[in-house]
Chain A
Amino acid sequence: GDSVTQTEGQVALSEEDFLTIHCNYSASGYPTLFWYVQYPGEGPQLLFRASRDKEKGSSRGFEATYDKGTTSFHLRKASVQESDSAVYYCALSDNNNNAPRFGAGTKLSVKP
């Protein structure tokens, strides 16, 4: 079945550091890929999504490019801020109205 793998469980950075969170997926066809962000005490919210190979999603300085060749959708940000501290989830949905699959999440902590 479809699945999403996030390599990093926790990432600790300082402000202005470069961020990469790795996301690889396994699915047939062209699933839609998502990044969600969850702040403490809240539900996850959409950061952005992408539906086609080579499509770039971006929001708030974060970006990821849909890569069907490497089945990846890695999250990157050039310069993180303390306010970016949160849990980030990679997810995918197929075209069959099945429930979306979420990765295990990556907790980002940014020190001032």
Chain B
Amino acid sequence: AQTIHQWPVAEIKAVGSPLSLGCTIKGKSSPNLYWYWQATGGTLQQLFYSITVGQVESVVQLNLSASRPKDDQFILSTEKLLLSHSGFYLCAWNGDWGQDTQYFGPGTRLLVL
């Protein structure tokens, strides 16, 4: 069975500090990987997706970047956090076919002060 993990579970960071959020998929080779963001009480905003190692497509950047260093790993980062980065970050995966179901991770809650 496939499992998806996100780390950390939650973070409190200062404005201007760097950030790195991680996501790992186990039990699935060559997944499509996605990053989403939700403001508190807000809608699901797609940020990035990756179909293969080393390749990342940007949907909405929000002064963030993403990388896929390994087949099973997807990283979201920034060198300087903004207050507007606060929210809930979700990683998701689906299979080889674009119409496959998306499976979401448990999320990382970020508060920027």
- Interface residues as binary, A8-49 with B (CB distance below 8 Å gives 1, 0 otherwise): 000000000000000000000001101010100111111001
A32 to B95, CA, bound (A): 14
A89 to B100, CA, bound (A): 16
Q: Which of B44-68 touch A at CB < 8 Å?
A: 44, 46, 49, 51, 57, 59
Partner of A99, one of B43, B49, B106: B49
Known: A43-B104, A44-B104, A99-B34. A32 touches B99 (CB 8 A): yes
Query: In the complex, how many angstroms separate the beta carbon of A91 from the nearest chain B beta carbon?
Result: 8
Known: A97-B32, A99-B34, A99-B57. A42 touches B106 (CB 8 A): yes
Known: A89-B44, A99-B34, A104-B43. A42 touches B107 (CB 8 A): yes
Closest to B49 in A: A99
Asked if A70 lies at the interface with its beta carbon under 8 angstroms from chain B, I say: no
Known: A51-B99, A97-B51, A105-B44. A43 touches B105 (CB 8 A): yes
Q: How many residues of B contact A (CB 8 A)?
A: 24
Query: In the complex, how many angstroms separate the beta carbon of A64 from the nearest chain B beta carbon?
Result: 15
Hey, which bits of chain B sit against chain A, CB under 8 A? 32, 34, 43-44, 46, 49, 51, 57, 59, 90, 92, 94, 96-107
Known: A34-B101, A97-B98. 13 other contacts (CB 8 A): A31-B99, A41-B107, A43-B92, A43-B104, A43-B107, A46-B102, A51-B99, A95-B97, A97-B51, A98-B98, A99-B49, A99-B57, A105-B43
Hey, which bits of chain A sit against chain B, CB under 8 A? 31-32, 34, 36, 38, 41-46, 49, 51, 89, 91, 93-100, 102, 104-105
